[in-house]
Structure 1
Amino acid sequence: MTDFLATGMLPDHYEQLAKTVRDFAQSVVAPVAAKHDEEHSFPYEVVSGMADMGLFGLPFPEEYGGMGGDFTALCITLEELARVDSSVAITLEAGVSLGAMPVFRFGTEAQKQEWLPKLCSGEMLGGFGLTEPGGGSDAGATATTARRDGGEWVINGSKAFITNSGTDITGLVTVTAVTGTATGAEAGRKEISAIIVPAGTPGFAVSKKYSKVGWNASDTHELSFVDCRVPEENLLGSQGRGYAQFLSILDEGRIAIAAVSVGLAQGCVDECLRYVGEREAFGHKIGEYQAIQFKIADMEARAHTARLGYYAALAKMARAEPFKKEAAIAKLVASNAAMDNARDATQIFGGYGFMNEFPVGRFYRDAKILEIGEGTSEVQRMLIARELGLR
């Protein structure tokens, strides 16, 4: 990890993975991306292809049906997918780092054996139920509750903006809920726990999908729980540790979102290079004009710098060193790069950039959520400041 961070060159096995996913993105994802975006339809055929390649099991051990890879392999894959379609990239990101990873990190052996093989194979998708309609960035303001009754948890409340929560292959959603009041040093605070809720459980309802600005081929719903009962053994991790567990999952997820952001930023460069070599204005290819050249140079510099940012976070993660600050920096810088590159790409395309005929219009719509999801840019700045000792 440290070697390729220093040189900027991927080791051969990562490079081969990147090439394989790049070919898949160009041959399978690209031809249907505009169609699914326009129809707001979930790309089941693409997800099936990713499952056949083992992408949903990339960072998990083979004993649970995974590929025996690591989080770096996942992020490299996400970057390549997002160069073509962010909806597909976020489907994989959420399925792995938000759907399956909590089970792998905090689940009992029985929970891992029950859920991970299907999640790793892509036969099943999992969701991550943290955000609530009235909470937004304040995840600690959880209002959903869970109480014990006769060997079961009875859950009441709602969750908002939950990815992969309403597809035909969604198998579970892990939700945070208030299970009591903390004692000791945390006395008086909400005790928040995480609980696995299988799809189809009575009392668990999935609302109609949102009408979104971007990520139109990604599945996103509000969820409600009305006296929803699940067995006590569906508690994930220790009671009262659910909030802390999910925050650690978000630290990893921010690196993954940074990778998606870099992919979108690089995809903007790819599309612009293709376009300026063909489009003529005032008797010349527009790529011959220095104003255009400088704008694309800035775009490439943003993507390159953001990539090094998420590589640096991955390096610390791989060395089992604290990486909260680096993950926040990577997410902040990369999402800014994605938004800036999408805006510049749309400008270079001019009127055509405002048409859905070309991918940059979709990139522009998809970029904004990267500055919001898994912690807004303001939250990232807050985390960075705290890691610098500022309170």
Structure 2
Amino acid sequence: MPTYKNSFQSKLPEIPTSIFSVMSALAQKEHALNLSQGFPDFESDKNLIELVNKAMVNGKNQYAPMPGVFSLREAIAAKMEYLYNVSYNPETEITITAGATQAIFTAIAATVKKDDEVLIFKPAYDCYEPTIQLFGGKVIPVQLNPEDFKIDWKLVKSLITEKTKMIIINTPHNPSGRILTKEDMLQLEAILKNTNIVLLSDEVYEHIIFDGEQHQTAALFPALAERAFITASFGKTFHNTGWKVGYCLAPKELMAEFRKVHQFNVFSVNHPTQIALAEYLKTASNYLELNNFYQQKRDLFLSLIKDSRFKFTPSKGTYFQLLNFKEITNERDCDFAVRLTKEHKIASIPISVFNKNNLDTKVLRFCFAKSNDTIKKAAEILCNI
């Protein structure tokens, strides 16, 4: 008789450890500059930290309401009205989550069943695919153009079948830094109109967009908004990824299903942090000034490496920049990323792990959400390669 250990079957047998964990661990071991994982190396606004402390001192230390503190949901609704002139009911259409990844997981868990098909665009953030598989869904990967990361909407339309349950989009896009345009969203809207397909719109970098471009949220397009889970992250927005607070927007009927799952896999989210964020959002400049803040960092980074052997197209959003190393080596991107970390003491993320069939286009992702000193040190290393 086989032992339990030998008879146990994994639900995710082919899922490796996240590349972010792998490269960050290697960076720590090698004492390398960590431009791999997407987190800042500078502190949050001291005013926001003080607001959290104040909430703790004032006794907001027990469970928050399951959907989130109402004042924070009201503040999010006000932000959506102010920025996009769209209305979300804070009572029934907004839920506070333990980061955007939990929001994404919950939206998929609430809607995707066995044999449902879900279209994702590759390179894709690495939480989408395993979550779909976990609930018995089938991933339908759509490879973005390797040169400009544009979407072939005719291809998308051809891949939709009666089994298609969901399409996942991400704008601004991690890892490419590309943003979906109004025309992109209109084409998606035309494809999904008169279908029962759910849209999951990952918009965690909505406040980090450059060169005067505007964020095209799914909420702006009626035939998308009526079927969309929109996920967002305060951690990305306010430089405190370790707090793990995000939110989800969705129409009442979809949100009711979302909360059925949310109440059992998280129930509620850090209470004092929610109280603080509700107050912090009242000052619009706290999020409106982020575009310029991060564009200065992008521009500094690119100006310092312009004479290096790496080639690039400036990122349009997020705090990531892709660098092409074709003129440096023929190594696979994973091998080159490891060698850079060990020999040159700078860590990055290879893009092939996010591509369909691990397509290797000789591109690495670097995070520039760093202090100017870190950016300058990183640029000096890259220019000497």
Same fold (TM over 0.5): no
TM-score (norm 2): 0.25
TM-score, structure 1 length as denominator? Answer: 0.25
Q: Kindly indicate which of the two structures has a greater share of residues assigned to helix.
A: 1
Greater RCO (CA < 8 Å, at least 6 residues apart): 2
